[in-house]
Structure 1
Amino acid sequence: MKKVTVYCGSNKGRNPIYVTAAQALATEMIRRDMALVYGAGNVGLMGVIADKMLEAGKDVYGIIPQKLVDIEVAHIGCTELTVVETMRDRKWLMAERGDGFVAMPGGIGTFEELFEIMTLNQLGYIRKPLALYNVNGYYDKLIDFLKFSCEEGFLHQAQLDLLIISTDPVELLDKMAAFQPKFIEKWEVK
């Protein structure tokens, strides 16, 4: 795993722990000589993680739609900045270019990206590790909801089991590196 796609907020959140966690993830990626693939923003947690990677001389691949470039949120310091037409194009390129995915705290865009990768893995379009970086318990209620969805028969436990969850960037990246892709042939409820 050489390129990690990180989904995270275009805001920093109210608690400074989110910035610290973004820097900690970047530090561990730097230590492992990894590159960052992300949404090319220069704001929020997106800007924090990109800046840390760039300061260390690591490759940062940003992918952003022209509309966001026009409102001046593109990180012009990216090693490679790819400007696309739509958000859909952006998400697909981010999915293609990353060897694995980390969802940090973020808003609706991060949630959408998380669920899209879960779906792509479930359907076998990709076979790549996906992790929730559960900083400050940010995803606790979502994890509880996903478990409830399994109990109610709408989500398969095998699909939920593919989701790596950790509060520690070292453990998170270790688990991603050890990921063994699985294809579940039948998703029927038993």
Structure 2
Amino acid sequence: MTSINSICIYCGSSPGRLDAYASAAFALAESLVSRNIRLVYGGASIGIMGMVADRVLKLGGQAVGVIPKALAHKEVAHHHLTELHVTQSMHERKMLMAELSDGFIALPGGIGTLEELFEIWTWAQLGFHHKPCGLLNVEGYYDALINFLDHVRAEQFVKNHHHAMLMVETNPDALLDRYVNYQPPAVKHWLGKDET
């Protein structure tokens, strides 16, 4: 069993086209609070980011935002969070979000969401952390990406056990259940040492 006290959510600073994206953000927030799991996210008050944080706070949960100084005004930093960390750079932001979290979930989002997801998944592949990573696939939003990742695996650019590290579910409780039972595979650290 893995101890999950904080989950980092990557998601859009826009609401997206479908109401289902907001509904999924609310459902994930409710799942986190019901399990006493703290939200860690990008610190904005707008889009899916703001929706998940607002719902966590409304339900009495904890929401921790991490936002770089340069984006604090552009992304409209959320000033009613449990904690708001303002960093000097995007790199510092992502490092702190990773340090504060026991797992990572991507809701629908844009280029930034994808970049954050792929970086944290790469860190897991390299053995820099042993925390679960996953997609909440809302209304098939990530179907094309999932198919592409299957293609990447078939073309032997990603090993099966690395591919399996990225968990995919359509229901937040199902994904969080898998996180609690997550056993990281043995991976080759970048120095060549086997680690679990």
1:56 matched residue in structure 2:
59
2:172 matched residue in structure 1:
169
Q: Provide the alpha-carbon RMSD of the alignment.
A: 1.3
2:193 matched residue in structure 1:
none
2:20 matched residue in structure 1:
17
1:44 matched residue in structure 2:
47
Structure 1 position 78 matched with structure 2 position 107: no
- 2:8 aligned to 5, 8, 18, which one? 5
Q: Which segments of 5 or more consecutive residues in structure 1 lack a partner in the other structure? A: none
Q: Is the 8 A contact 2:13 2:75 kept in 1?
A: no
Following superposition of structure 1 onto structure 2, how do residues 1-190 of structure 1 map, counting pairs within 5 Å?
1-71=4-74, 73-185=76-188
Q: SS of the counterpart of 1:62?
A: strand
Q: SS of the counterpart of 1:82?
A: strand
Cα distance in 1 for partners of 2:121, 2:57 equals 29
Deviations 1:72-109 (A, max 9, x none): 61000111100001111101111111000001100000
Cα distance in 1 for partners of 2:75, 2:170 equals 32
Q: SS of the counterpart of 1:61?
A: strand
TM-score scaled by structure 1? 0.95
Q: Is the 8 A contact 2:46 2:75 kept in 1?
A: no
Q: SS of the counterpart of 1:64?
A: strand
Deviations 1:97-146 (A, max 9, x none): 10000011000000001100111001111000001000011111101101
Q: SS of the counterpart of 1:13?
A: coil
- AA partner of residue 128 (structure 1): K
Q: Which segments of 5 or more consecutive residues in structure 2 lack a partner in the other structure? A: 191-196
**Identical columns (%):** 47
Cα distance in 2 for partners of 1:89, 1:156 equals 29
Cα distance in 1 for partners of 2:76, 2:179 equals 30
Q: Is the 8 A contact 1:122 1:183 kept in 2?
A: no
Q: Is the 8 A contact 2:161 2:185 kept in 1?
A: no
Cα distance in 1 for partners of 2:148, 2:187 equals 22
